[in-house]
Structure formats: C-alpha cells, structure tokens
Amino acid sequence: MRALSTGSAIMTARAAVAAASGAFRPDDATQDELNEKSDSPRYRAVFISDLHLGTPGCQASALLDFLRAHPSESLYLVGDIIDGWQLRRRWFWPQAHNDVVQKVLRRARKGCRVVFVPGNHDEFARQFDGHHFGGIEVHKEAVHTTADGRHLWVIHGDHFDGVIQGAKWLAYLGDNLYEFSLRLNRHLNSWRARLGLPYWSLSQYLKHRVKSALNYVTDFERAVANEARHRGYQGVVCGHIHRPEMRSIDGTLYCNDGDWVESLSALVEHADGRLELVHWHAQAHAPVVDSSAVEPVSMA
Ligand SMILES: [Mn+2]
C-alpha cells in the first residue's frame, strides 16, 4: 500500500490512490492490449464525468467496455469520478471499480493525456490543482482546443448550483411513479370527499413540480453556456446534472457528457474535430441496462 505523503489529503483520497496503485496485475494489461486492437477508431478526445466510483450505482463494467472501444489522444475526467461523499459514509470498492482506475492509469502510461477536473463529490482533489499523479493532470478547470480550432471550456458545473432554484431530483421521476401518483390521487380524493374536503389534484401538483425541475435543467444549461461565452470560449463541456446534451445556446456550444449511473453517455471528438454524444446503452455490443433498476435519486 502506498499513500500520498501530503498530510492534508483526506482519507478517501489516500485510500483511492492506494487501492488503485496497490493491486496492479500485469495479466490485466495483457488482456487489455488484446482488447484494444488497432481496428478500433482512435478518437482525438474523450470526455466522461459522473462515474461515481465507490457507489453501487456506478456502471463500471459498461464504462470499461466503452473505454476499450474508444481509445483516444486525450481523456478528460470531468468530475465526480470517485464519490468521496459516499465512501466516507460506507466503504464500497469492488474489483470493477478498481479496473476502471487501472484502465485510466494505464492509458496515461501509454501516452494518452489524461486531465482530471474534479467535481463536488471528489472535491478533495481540488487541492491538487496543477499537480499530476501517475500521469494524470489535475486542474480545477481546463480548456480543450478541437482539431478545427474551437476552444472549449471544461468544468464539472457544480458552481452553477447556487444560481438555480428548484427540486432537481424531480427531474428524474419516471413514468411509473407518475402513474402511481395518479392511482394514489384517486384514493386520496375519495378519502378527502368522505371528510367533506374539496378535490385536490396530486398529479397536477407533481406535474407542476416536474415542470419546475425541468426548468432547473434548462436554467443550468443556459447559465453554463452564458458564462462560457462571457469568458470568450466557443463552447463548454460539463457534467454534474446527469443530463447528456449537445446543442447551441445563443451561439455557444453546450455539451454535457452525461454520467455512468443513469445515462451511460460520453462526449467524443473525432479526428476532424467533429463532436459526438455517445449513448453507450444504445450500442449493439453493449449490455442492455434496465433503467428501472437504478435509483431515481439524483447524485449530481
Ligand atoms: Mn456533481
């Protein structure tokens, strides 16, 4: 076990690095090289965020499959990679999560530029701004220049939480819960009628709340894109809200690479500078993920 010598590093940082560096197995590397034959197209850059390693929600094996199929010159880890909040409460570190860290470290050793922009769940790493560990550069924010010369601001996005109102977890309510609310509504109102109370629509109330949650997403996207424009960038790449998206907002390109808990998505840059949002669960060779098995609670 090796640990960082920096005294101020909190336990989760030390433990995560120790877990990653302590169990390197050469047979893994060989297997990985076999999987990474040159028939995979090489991407100029890959952006992933919100892996939430250290939580049961992290879809680590799907992520490993994605990484194997997407070798790149640069890899941006756009925050909430290791979930220090959850690990502090309960230690959860299965082999697949270790494999992800190994995979990233190995990629850095093989000449891929790996940039880690910490998020709010791994904010312990923000104190290492400007340092590098095992070939991974840590920056509070970064700028990526595409092959066609666009400057993209790379941030996690949590700093924009303060300017946004609303119950964001409601954005993750599914249809099932909505249908359940309609049934609950009928029972609630027959009970209210017996008590002589007027009709009150639970579903209307929830619909209103879901609408304000969706407004939260739009407000977040606009706030991030506006700030990128004010700073003179042509676009922005962020994560945090677990909502993959790529669109122009008032002339500024807004890219959210999504997450590896719910949406299993990433942003990739092709050799010619073209950006693409990859939805991994939609790939034929990837395992189908049952979204109902994932807790609807937001981890943004
Ligand atoms: Mn976050």
Nearest to 121 by CA among 256, 22, 259, 223: 259
CB 21 within 8 A of CB 14: no
CA 230 / ligand 1 centre spacing (Å): 23
CA 51 / ligand 1 centre spacing (Å): 10
CA 163 / ligand 1 centre spacing (Å): 15
Can you read off the two tokens belonging to residue 114? Answer: 């790996």
3-state secondary structure of 53: strand
- pLDDT tens by residue, 284-294: 454 444 444 44
Q: Angle between the 95-109 and 26-35 helix axes, to the nearest 10 degrees? A: 70
CA 289 / ligand 1 centre spacing (Å): 22
CA–chain centroid gap for 213, Å, is 19
CB 109 within 8 A of CB 78: no
CA 123 / ligand 1 centre spacing (Å): 9
Q: What is the DSSP letter of 82?
A: B
Confidence (pLDDT) at 71: 97
Confidence (pLDDT) at 152: 98
Can you read off the two tokens belonging to residue 130? Answer: 């400007």
Phi and psi at residue 52, to the nearest 5°: 55, 45
- pLDDT tens by residue, 203-250: 677 766 766 777 778 889 999 999 999 999 999 999 999 899 999 999
Nearest to 278 by CA among 34, 45, 99, 32: 45
pTM above 0.85, yes or no: no
pLDDT per residue, tens digit, the chain (300 aa), is 333 333 334 444 444 444 444 444 444 455 555 555 455 569 999 999 999 999 999 999 999 999 999 999 999 999 999 999 888 888 999 999 999 999 999 999 999 999 999 999 999 999 999 999 989 999 999 999 999 999 999 999 998 876 544 444 444 454 456 567 767 877 887 888 888 887 777 767 776 676 677 777 888 999 999 999 999 999 999 999 989 999 999 999 999 999 999 899 999 999 999 999 999 974 545 444 444 444 444 445
Confidence (pLDDT) at 7: 39
Max distance between CA atoms of the chain, in angstroms, equals 73
CA 81 / ligand 1 centre spacing (Å): 9
Confidence (pLDDT) at 272: 96
CA 82 / ligand 1 centre spacing (Å): 11
CA 25 / ligand 1 centre spacing (Å): 31
CA 268 / ligand 1 centre spacing (Å): 20
What are the strands, taking DSSP E only, across the chain? 43-48, 72-77, 113-116, 132-133, 136-138, 142-145, 151-154, 235-238, 245-249, 252-256, 265-269, 275-279
Cα gap 240→62, rounded to integer Å: 19
CA 291 / ligand 1 centre spacing (Å): 20
CA 121 / ligand 1 centre spacing (Å): 6
Query: What length is written for the chain?
Result: 300
